[in-house]
């Protein structure tokens, strides 16, 4: 079993050594350790993408993102005892492709396994022309060539006592412009509030360490992961940021921003490990399983109706299997159902109401 998630002050140096040649040449990882120096949070990032900064090129970013995928997959294998299925693919509309690593345990004799459905995907694609809708959104001519790379994951545990987790880090380059985005959030069913507080405090410490505003990124997360058609949050939030690029509001180089994203990816064991260890062996009643499936329907609704990554992937004619990897294997809708007052199921609706978790 992996012990890395128990070492929040030194994990990146350890991760760099274990990644070995996979991150050779990408200087920030080797020997990195958290310090006690906390710089002041930076102002919110500007939306206008910066002109290309050659100090860190897209090939180096892809290499670092692949190291993140390897790090997270090793952790999930160690914790679950389950081996992923790997699928490599090519981008037919341009060049590049990706590596999809998927876990599935859907049969009755696999009910004891932790990961019912999940995946950690890496992609790095090049296209000759931006999708029209994306070009309009970014105010870039639709015939402009683009390059996109990222790591995206969604984990749906079998037990409702471990929350679903989603995270991604991404880089986009279009003509002379570039920007980063990413985030992490958890969607609980039955959860200890203390674990949520710890999760948010880790994220706040990470943001402060790298000079970003946790408060701004948390607010964006709460606003983004909202099922607006139901006026209901998807989960307990986390971080969400987009269009991070060099600007007057964010005087950081491309390499500095990339380093922050990779640090977030490498933090995954510390963020998710406590949830797993607390909940994976708890008994599950049929009623709890039923509630988990009901709440998963909200996850499906968000991904299909609101998620920008899903929309861009489909509009750019990306690989559908990888894009829809985020879907849970089972979900259930009930007509006009509401939990009884005073039950743990009813409590969830208070838990997912946005709160200042990191200050609790």
What are the backbone dihedrals phi and psi of residue 92, each rounded to the nearest 5 degrees, phi first?
-70, -25
Q: Compute the distance between CA of residue 115 and CA of residue 82 in angstroms, rounded to an integer.
A: 8
Catalytic residue, candidates 126, 166, 243, 277: 166
Q: What's the CA angle centered on 159, arms 235 and 297, to 5 degrees? A: 45
Q: Compute the distance between CA of residue 205 and CA of residue 212 in angstroms, rounded to an integer.
A: 10
Residue ranges with strand state E in the chain = 50-51, 85-90, 94-104, 115-127, 146-157, 164-174, 177-187, 226-227, 232-233, 238-244
Tokens of 224: 């983004």
Q: Residue 99 pairs with which residues in a beta bridge? A: 88, 122
Identify whether 166 is a catalytic site residue.
yes
Cβ proximity of 46 and 250 under 8 Å: yes
Distance, C-alpha 89 to centroid of its chain: 21
Q: Compute the distance between CA of residue 162 and CA of residue 182 in angstroms, rounded to an integer.
A: 22
What are the backbone dihedrals phi and psi of residue 237, each rounded to the nearest 5 degrees, phi first?
75, -160
Q: Compute the distance between CA of residue 278 and CA of residue 191 in angstroms, rounded to an integer.
A: 9
Nearest alpha carbon to residue 334 among 323, 345, 347: 345
Nearest alpha carbon to residue 186 among 169, 177, 199, 202: 199
Q: Compute the distance between CA of residue 314 and CA of residue 325 in angstroms, rounded to an integer.
A: 13
Q: Compute the distance between CA of residue 29 and CA of residue 68 in angstroms, rounded to an integer.
A: 11
Active site residues: 166
């Amino acid at each position: 079993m992996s012990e890395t998630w128990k070492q929040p002050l030194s994990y990146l140096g350890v991760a760099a050594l274990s990644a070995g040649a996979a991150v050779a040449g990408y200087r920030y990882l080797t020997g990195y350790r958290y310090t006690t120096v906390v710089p002041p949070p930076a102002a919110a990032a500007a939306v206008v993408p910066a002109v290309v900064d050659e100090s860190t090129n897209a090939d180096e970013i892809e290499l670092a993102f692949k190291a993140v995928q390897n790090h997270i997959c090793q952790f999930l294998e160690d914790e679950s005892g389950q081996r992923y299925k790997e699928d490599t693919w090519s981008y037919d509309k341009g060049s590049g492709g990706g590596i999809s690593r998927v876990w599935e345990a859907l049969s009755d004799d696999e009910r004891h396994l932790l990961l019912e459905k999940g995946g950690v995907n890496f992609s790095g694609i090049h296209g000759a022309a931006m999708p029209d809708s994306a070009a309009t959104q970014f105010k870039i001519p639709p015939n402009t060539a683009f390059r996109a790379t990222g790591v995206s994951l969604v984990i749906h545990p079998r037990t409702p006592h471990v929350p679903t987790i989603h995270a991604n880090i991404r880089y986009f380059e279009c003509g002379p412009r570039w920007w980063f985005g990413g985030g992490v959030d958890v969607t609980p069913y039955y959860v200890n509030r203390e674990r949520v507080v710890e999760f948010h405090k880790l994220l706040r410490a990470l943001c402060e360490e790298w000079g970003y505003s946790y408060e701004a990124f948390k607010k964006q997360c709460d606003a983004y992961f909202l099922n607006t058609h139901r006026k209901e949050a998807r989960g307990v939030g986390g971080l969400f940021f987009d269009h991070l690029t060099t600007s007057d509001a964010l005087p950081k180089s491309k390499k500095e921003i990339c380093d922050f994203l990779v640090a977030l990816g490498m933090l995954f064991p510390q963020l998710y490990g406590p949830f797993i260890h607390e909940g994976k062996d708890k008994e599950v009643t049929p009623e709890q399983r039923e509630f988990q499936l009901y709440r998963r329907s909200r996850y499906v609704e968000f991904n299909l109706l609101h998620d920008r990554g899903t929309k861009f992937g489909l509009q750019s004619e990306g690989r559908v299997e990888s894009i829809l990897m985020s879907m849970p294997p089972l979900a259930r809708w009930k007509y006009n159902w509401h939990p009884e007052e005073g039950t743990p199921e009813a409590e969830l609706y208070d838990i997912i109401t946005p709160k200042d978790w990191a200050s609790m």
